[in-house]
Structure 1
Amino acid sequence: MLPSVLVGGLVAFGSAPAHAQIINSHLVDLSPLDIVDAGQTTLEAIDPAILNLQVSEPFAIMATPPTPAGFTDPVGTQHTGYVSHNGNEVVHGHPLLIRETGSVDLGVRMRVERPQAYPPGRYTYTVRLTVTPL
């Protein structure tokens, strides 16, 4: 089983099996989602949430697309998840290789673009991160 970190809403959960050698993880900063166009069809985290990991060996990390929690997006919605480190950002489905050890800050952000405007309400999306040792 691969370790994963779940970032959703205002909470980050860490799972750290011993074989991945992740000692600790916690959320150190989280920015709100902003509606970025006049039609309110796009939610995007402009500044990433910062996730701090304590690691003892190099690893690869990969994000999933954001998934809605408790509601369904309309057909045609585009979901994009991102993970970054030291100025390098990759889109979901592509691994980001981290060769350093110790305290590592990762950025996590998302973009959701719907074909029609969001009605008023609260929206929660989840981005899952998968960590594998190199």
Structure 2
Amino acid sequence: MFYRLALTSSLMLASAIALDQAALAQSADVPFNGTVPIQTTFSNSSGGTAQSTGIVGVNGNANRYESITPATVSVQSTTPATITVSPPRLVSGETEDPSGTKHTAFVKFGSTNFRSDVGGGSAPLPAGNTNLEISMLIERPQAFTPGTYIYVVTLTITP
């Protein structure tokens, strides 16, 4: 009986020692990162109109094609951003723009006015709803051939 008592006591003592080891608690921070993009919406866009003006050549045609009615567009931005206007580019027309043609786009909103050929064509855009007016001017070194011309101006918004 003493043998059983010694065996049981030694097993209990061994179990207690095995289970009595100190547990080490540790923690770790797991980082997550990402970017929340600017949410920007263009709406209520209306195209502008343009006509030829400027120096009249020997054939009676002018060398300038400019806005007489600006295009308008509303921009809704969730945060302040930068808006950039590109120079106008010819989409279709009776003749291609010859070398030396100057392309300029103008943007106006609130008290801000900027143009594609000055300062990178960019300006700060406030958060919220902003109504833009876009105009353009094309100056060729020679007169435009009569016909229909379509130019586009690209607006880009970046954080």
Give TM-score scaled by structure 2 length.
0.64
2:44 equivalent to 1:27: yes
The answer as to whether partners of 2:114 and 2:123 remain within 8 angstroms in 1 is yes
Please list every run of 5 or more consecutive structure 2 residues that lacks an aligned counterpart in the other structure. 1-35, 57-61
2:146 equivalent to 1:117: no
CA distance in 1, matches of 2:111, 2:54: 26
Correspondence for 2:109: 85
Correspondence for 2:122: 95
Please list every run of 5 or more consecutive structure 1 residues that lacks an aligned counterpart in the other structure. 1-17
Letter in 1 for 2:75: L
CA distance in 2, matches of 1:66, 1:20: 25
Q: How does 1:26-45 map to 2 (within 5 A)?
A: 26-37=43-54, 39=56, 40-45=62-67
Question: Do the aligned partners of residues 86 and 69 (structure 1) sit closer, same or farther apart at CA in structure 2, a change above 3 Å counting?
Answer: same
- Give the number of the structure with larger relative contact order, counting CA–CA contacts within 8 Å between residues 6 or more apart: 1
Correspondence for 1:127: 153
Question: Do the aligned partners of residues 128 and 28 (structure 1) sit closer, same or farther apart at CA in structure 2, a change above 3 Å counting?
Answer: closer
Q: What is the identity percentage for the equivalent residue pairs of Structure 1 and Structure 2?
A: 31
Question: Do the aligned partners of residues 28 and 128 (structure 1) sit closer, same or farther apart at CA in structure 2, a change above 3 Å counting?
Answer: closer
Paired residues in the alignment total 114
Q: CA RMSD in A?
A: 1.8
Runs of 4+ in 1 over 2 A off after TM superposition: 27-31
CA distance in 1, matches of 2:147, 2:69: 22
CA distance in 2, matches of 1:57, 1:83: 20
Q: Higher helix proportion, which one?
A: 2
Give TM-score scaled by structure 1 length.
0.75
